[in-house]
Structure 1
Amino acid sequence: MEYRLPSDLWLLSSTVSVVEATLLLLNIEPQSVSQFVEGWDDDKKPVHYIAARNALVGAIRGEQVSGELVPQTYEKFPQGGIEVDYERIDHHASYVYVQSLASWLCERGFDNTIFARSGEKKSGFRDPSHPRYSAKLVAAVEAWEAFDEDSNERGTPKQRLAKWLRLNAARFGLTNDDGKPSENVIEELAKIGNWATTGGAPKQKSDEPGPDKTPQ
């Protein structure tokens, strides 16, 4: 089967599904393929698809790449409701951050995918070969850029920035001698990226109506 080459427009997305990312790793345009490929027999899938998908899942699980692995869910019949299978991954619902994946591939010398073109467009401070390159600076900026204002994730901006930095600590060398995230460094970097410095509890989205202020 002949596949189309992917469009650079995919690089404008902040996240892509694991299925889409796997196809992009193979230089295959995901449109009109991603919705079917997981249902094909293994010998019908694109060459190296399973190897690339497994490598990507392993990188997310090992916190080398930022993303989330979502368990498979099924509708229960005939009683209804949803059953969650934590032993299986929903590769369509699972996702990865594009910039994180591009950086991981670059570190490993994979320069023959669409994500390498993402690296070509990096500004100087993101370039590891730049004489003034600072991994801590890049970590603080990428944590700030990865912040999703529409997410329902709990915590203050600073707490959420710190969480992202912990998940990506190994990428930027923010670990101690035991390989664990260095909390002092992460705390300082989260302060740098934190824009909500006025204090107070984080605002929570709510669909509930406010109190009735009609005069009695």
Structure 2
Amino acid sequence: MTVIPATEDSPLRVHHLWSLLEDTAVGWDEEGRTLVLSGPQGTERVEDPAPAVAEALRRMELGPVLLANLEQPDGATAAGHDTYTVVLSVLRGISHVVIRTLSLEDFKGPVLSVVPVGRTASFSLVRLSAQRRVRLRPTVTITVRGDGFLVQCRSQEHRVEIHRPEAMWVVSLLAWPMTPDAMVESLPLPAELTLAILGYLAGAGMTVAAG
């Protein structure tokens, strides 16, 4: 088992990325006032989007984006400003075409992605109680897909694509009831990463409380 090199002095930060479903195209309508998103989930329209919203969707069409890096027209970053809130509000309204990806700033690629599979899919990160035991939902299936794993459940409107072994370590512990605190102690991972992986799995409906 490979240990991620992280110390208290220089911890590896987790990044929360946003992108659009594969094969989703973003373009303006004939009047140039409405952004039209066309893809596997149908067509969505964003009326009179703010410049930062249009820029976010354009970049998300190309791949995962760190929203905090978006820039406003005046060049200031959107994080912490009203523009950031506006972008998030629009993305929540079209969450069924938005992929959420967890990454680590070690340049080794994404850890996992939560992908919507239903028209009413709505995803939010879940912060689990540190001392409450959780486990995988009994109806969850895990299959090999390419060079990763696919975690899914027919009753849920998201699937989780596992890209790196760190996420699979967490999934494997969820075969038995366990508290988040115990998982943090058991795994050779930064606590922030372990808890973030749990938050994505719980937000996708892959976990249930266990006693």
TM superposition score normalised by structure 2: 0.26
Structure exhibiting the larger radius of gyration computed from Cα positions = 1
**Higher strand proportion:** 2
TM superposition score normalised by structure 1: 0.25
**Higher helix proportion:** 1
Name the structure, 1 or 2, with higher relative contact order (CA <8 Å, separation 6+).
2
